[in-house]
């Protein structure tokens, strides 16, 4: 469906599952309707033990659906999954959370979640022991890794009469999390629409012989997070990826490259049509002078490898740039010294340089988190930010867009 249409219609698909908190979905429906959302309710069979179906239909103005059968030829679960501005599961039972994490699709709601392209949020509601169980924790972390957002439960009295954490979050908290998600999506859809973003990610492998190579510890997570963020914000994304163990981001034009030379060739091919270049790849500075075509056997002697410098791809891309292109480089350092970083930025000829300290524990290569020091060409910007690579990706793209706006203003002055 056309994204603008999706925005205008403001459809929320409210999934209700089997928990005593299901009756509170009525308050949610009323609040969403007051805020001019069109609310479509899909309930599981068990939810209907707690949710008064007819009341939910009167409040929402739509029929409450439970089964994929009998929806008629016009409505399929795929359409339902895609037309919503967001899918909110409230309450989400332990059973339903497990289903989503396992990718099961044995009723209408779980099928919709599996086919969804809209953002999914869920508000768990269950006994504290169930919430704390390792199975639930594992399922929650799987959903988190897929960017399915949890609205955490609160402490309070539970259905069993005990007290603990497991009560569904308050209606206001759920509503503001939902609004934030819809607002972010709307914002993201607009700001890179029509732009082409070229991103490099991951390590390079320089061959020694058919078995061995020189590589590095880059996981590609930062570059892939940048690609995902740019796609969500409407960009046309080409991702030049070194060898990594990550699934290709949905919607990216992915091009694999193994060596620095291959990466150079692919980047130069795609660079002329790019508006923005982000070089997050950890490109090997050195390659073997001559690689062996057969496996080198050991012979009881020392083995000296002759290495030569690889071309500096970023430097030559920046030299070949045309007006209007914005370039962000990365710097993997073991210590962040501002003066050295500023020199590197100027040497490479980039607009922005995102430096990370790879020796810090809990950030850098392989980690889901990072700490980045971002500087710009004029020395005006020097900001440090820590967080999940996904959030840092959004932040870096915000900074690129800000830089482009400023550059445009300067050109017009």
Catalytic residue numbers read 216
Q: Smallest gap, in angstroms, from Cβ of residue 337 to ligand CTP? A: 11
Q: Does 312 bind ligand CTP (CB under 6 A)?
A: yes
Q: In degrees, to the nearest 5, what angle opens at C-alpha 91 toward C-alphas 89 and 96?
A: 70
- Lookup: tokens for 223: 């570059």
- Lookup: tokens for 77: 């679960």
- Lookup: tokens for 4: 């603008």
Q: Please report, as residue ranges, which positions from 4 to 33 form the binding site for ligand CTP (by CB under 6 A).
A: none
Q: Smallest gap, in angstroms, from Cβ of residue 280 to ligand CTP? A: 7
Residues contacting 353, CB < 8 A, separation 6+: 328, 329, 330, 331, 341, 344, 345, 374, 375, 376
User: Do 121 and 44 form a contact (C-beta atoms < 8 A)?
Assistant: no
Looking at the Cβ atoms of 315 and 395, the one nearer to ligand CTP is 315
Looking at the Cβ atoms of 110 and 241, the one nearer to ligand CTP is 241
Q: Please report, as residue ranges, which positions from 255 to 294 form the binding site for ligand CTP (by CB under 6 A).
A: 260, 279, 281, 283, 285
User: Do 78 and 34 form a contact (C-beta atoms < 8 A)?
Assistant: no
Q: Does 330 bind ligand CTP (CB under 6 A)?
A: yes
220, 242, 329, 364: residue in contact with ligand CTP (rule CB under 6 A): 329
Q: Does 357 bind ligand CTP (CB under 6 A)?
A: no
- Lookup: tokens for 194: 């029509």
140, 171, 313, 341: residue in contact with ligand CTP (rule CB under 6 A): 313
Q: Of the ranges 73-81, 108-116, 231-239, 328-336, which one interacts with ligand CTP (CB under 6 A)?
A: 328-336
User: Do 64 and 53 form a contact (C-beta atoms < 8 A)?
Assistant: yes
What is the enclosing helix (H) or strand (E) of 254? strand 253-256
Looking at the Cβ atoms of 116 and 237, the one nearer to ligand CTP is 237
DSSP-assigned letter for residue 35: T
Query: Sign of the CA dihedral 224, 226, 228, 231?
Result: negative
Looking at the Cβ atoms of 12 and 222, the one nearer to ligand CTP is 222
Looking at the Cβ atoms of 22 and 350, the one nearer to ligand CTP is 350
Q: Smallest gap, in angstroms, from Cβ of residue 329 to ligand CTP? A: 4
310, 325, 326, 357: residue in contact with ligand CTP (rule CB under 6 A): 310
CA distances from 165 to 123, 124, 132, 169, 260 (A): 13, 10, 9, 10, 51
Q: Which phi and psi angles does 210 have, rounded to 5°?
A: -60, -15
Q: Smallest gap, in angstroms, from Cβ of residue 83 to ligand CTP? A: 40
Q: Smallest gap, in angstroms, from Cβ of residue 332 to ligand CTP? A: 5
Determine whether 189 is exposed, middle or buried from the number of CB atoms within 10 Å of its CB (0-12, 13-18, 19+).
middle
Q: Of the ranges 93-101, 222-230, 242-250, 312-320, which one interacts with ligand CTP (CB under 6 A)?
A: 312-320
User: Do 148 and 96 form a contact (C-beta atoms < 8 A)?
Assistant: no
Q: Smallest gap, in angstroms, from Cβ of residue 285 to ligand CTP? A: 5
Q: Of the ranges 209-217, 326-334, 356-364, 396-404, which one interacts with ligand CTP (CB under 6 A)?
A: 326-334
- Lookup: tokens for 185: 């999506």
Provide the binding-site residues for ligand CTP, judged by CB under 6 A: 260, 279, 281, 283, 285, 310, 312-314, 329-332
């Amino acid at each position: 469906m056309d994204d603008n249409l999706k925005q205008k219609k403001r459809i929320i698909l409210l999934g209700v599952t089997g928990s005593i908190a299901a009756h509170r979905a009525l308050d949610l429906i009323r609040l969403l309707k007051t805020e001019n959302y069109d609310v479509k309710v899909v309930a599981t069979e068990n939810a209907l033990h707690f949710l008064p179906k007819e009341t939910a239909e009167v409040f929402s103005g739509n029929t409450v659906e439970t089964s994929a059968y009998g929806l008629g030829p016009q409505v399929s679960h795929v359409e339902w999954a895609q037309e919503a501005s967001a899918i909110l599961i409230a309450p989400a039972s332990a059973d339903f959370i497990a289903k989503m994490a396992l990718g099961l699709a044995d009723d209408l709601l779980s099928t919709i979640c599996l086919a969804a392209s809209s953002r999914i949020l869920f508000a768990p509601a269950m006994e504290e022991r169930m919430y704390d169980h390792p199975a639930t924790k594992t399922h929650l972390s799987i959903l988190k890794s897929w960017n399915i957002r949890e609205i955490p439960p609160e402490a309070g009295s539970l259905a069993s009469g005990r007290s603990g954490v497991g009560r569904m979050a308050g209606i206001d908290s759920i509503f503001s999390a939902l609004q934030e998600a819809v607002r972010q999506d709307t914002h993201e859809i607009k700001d890179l629409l029509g732009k082409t973003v070229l991103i490099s990610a991951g390590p390079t492998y320089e061959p020694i012989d058919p078995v061995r190579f020189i590589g590095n510890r880059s996981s590609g997570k930062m570059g892939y997070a940048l690609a995902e963020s740019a796609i969500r914000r409407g960009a046309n994304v080409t991702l030049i990826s070194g060898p990594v163990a990550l699934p290709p981001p949905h919607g990216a034009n992915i091009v694999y490259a193994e060596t620095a030379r291959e990466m150079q060739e692919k980047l130069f091919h795609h660079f002329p049509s790019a508006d923005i270049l982000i070089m997050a790849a950890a490109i090997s500075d050195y390659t073997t002078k001559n690689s062996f075509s057969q496996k080198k056997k050991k012979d009881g002697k020392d083995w000296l490898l002759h290495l030569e410098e690889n071309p500096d791809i970023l430097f030559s891309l920046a030299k070949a740039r045309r007006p209007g292109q914005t370039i962000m480089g990365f710097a993997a350092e073991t210590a962040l010294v501002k003066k050295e970083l500023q020199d590197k930025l100027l040497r490479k000829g980039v607009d922005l340089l995102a430096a990370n300290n790879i020796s810090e524990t809990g950030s850098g290569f392989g980690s889901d988190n990072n700490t980045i020091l971002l500087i710009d060409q004029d020395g005006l910007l020097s900001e440090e930010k820590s967080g999940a690579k996904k959030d840092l990706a959004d932040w870096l793209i915000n900074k690129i867009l800000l830089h482009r706006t400023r550059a445009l203003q300067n050109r017009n002055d």
